[in-house]
Amino acid sequence: CEFEDIRRYPEAVRIVRAAGRAVGLAAIRVVKPGEEGLLKRVADCAPDAVLVRNLAGLSYFAQEHPGLPLVADYALNVANELTAVILAEQGVVRITPGYDLNWRQMAAMLGRFDAGFFECVVHQHMPMFHMEHCVFAHTLSDGKDFRDCGRPCERHRVDLRDRAGVAHPLMADVGCRNTVFNGTAQSAAEFIPRMRSLGVRHFRVEMLREEADAVGPLLDEYSRLIALEAQGRAVVRKLRVLNQLGVSAGTLDWE
């Protein structure tokens, strides 16, 4: 779970636990000196795992909560087995491959380090950039930050429209920073059989603004793919998503 308001985390943990499921919480994308309290509030929710996005979070949770399972997110930029070894030695339980890898590069890394250690993102709205500037406060209030802006991010939905007319979702986080996500979801559905053949056993499907009734059918499609009961291209067409692995399709090698 990742919410713009960290006060929602305890409720999320309660709901998921009541359903008999495990729950993980995402830590903030950037940690500045003095912001360790935001990490402590995540740990205080007693999640089953934490998604760490930076070395500050990795260091904090490893030192202050050594028994808490940590999943290294893509922002730690694991692009080769050497980096994977370093993070494994720091105690993370899973590693998300960096988004800059094309398929050949990812396959090479999966062949040189235990592929069962990796958690591959197979569906997402790609995060395009993360910024300190809060567009919500700047455009929808007369304030400067959460102390005087009235928190318009809790009431308004904002997109940034590019020159081609595509609307890209803008999301605020707990640190009053903003992330812009690609307006079109992308899928690595075609690569799932190859990932499985190399030993990958953990797959992540990321939701952004999906309606509740769309989540179940989407997860069902990926469950069928992972069970090798569906074809990747057919699922891509059905979901109407971009057929792409990582940041750019320009470096993909399909052979």
Tens digit of each residue's pLDDT (9 = 90 or more) over 31-64? 999 999 999 999 999 999 999 999 999 999 999 9
**Percent of the chain's residues with pLDDT above 70:** 97
Per-residue DSSP letters for the chain?
A: ---S-GGGHHHHHHHHHHTT---EEEPPS---TT-HHHHHHHHHT--SEEEE-SHHHHHHHHHH-TTS-EEE-GGG-B-SHHHHHHHHHTT-SEEPBPTT--HHHHHHHHTTS-GGGBEEEEEE--EEEEESS-HHHHHH-S-SSTTTS--GGGT--EEEE-TTS-EEEEEE-TTS-EEEE-SS-EE-GGGHHHHHHTT--EEEE--SS--HHHHHHHHHHHHHHHTT-S-HHHHHHHHT-EE--SS-GGG----
Q: Retrieve residue 125's tokens.
A: 């709205």
Q: Which residue has the higher pLDDT, 76 or 251?
A: 76
Q: Please give the span between the terminal C-alpha atoms of the chain, in angstroms, as a whole number.
A: 36
Q: Retrieve residue 227's tokens.
A: 């069970």
Closest CA to 253 of 191, 170, 174, 164: 191
The pTM score is 0.89
The residue-averaged pLDDT of 92-118 equals 95
Is the pLDDT at 182 greater than 90? The verdict is: yes
Tens digit of each residue's pLDDT (9 = 90 or more) over 199-255? 999 999 999 999 999 999 999 999 999 999 988 888 888 888 888 887 755 444 544
Is the pLDDT at 158 greater than 50? The verdict is: yes
Q: Which residue has the higher pLDDT, 150 or 251?
A: 150
Is the pLDDT at 163 greater than 70? The verdict is: yes
Cβ 237 vs Cβ 190: under 8 Å? no
Least confident range of 26-30, 53-57, 66-70, 230-234 = 230-234
The residue-averaged pLDDT of 75-96 equals 95
Cβ 70 vs Cβ 93: under 8 Å? yes
Q: Residue holding tokens 């309660």?
A: 14
Distance CA 50, CA 25 (A): 5
For residue 42, what pLDDT is reported? 95
For residue 31, give Cα distances in angstroms to 39, 56, 212.
9, 6, 31
For residue 249, what pLDDT is reported? 52
For residue 185, count other CB atoms closer than 10 A to its CB: 21
Question: Between β-strands 127-131 and 202-205, what pairing exists: parallel, antiparallel or unpaired?
Answer: unpaired
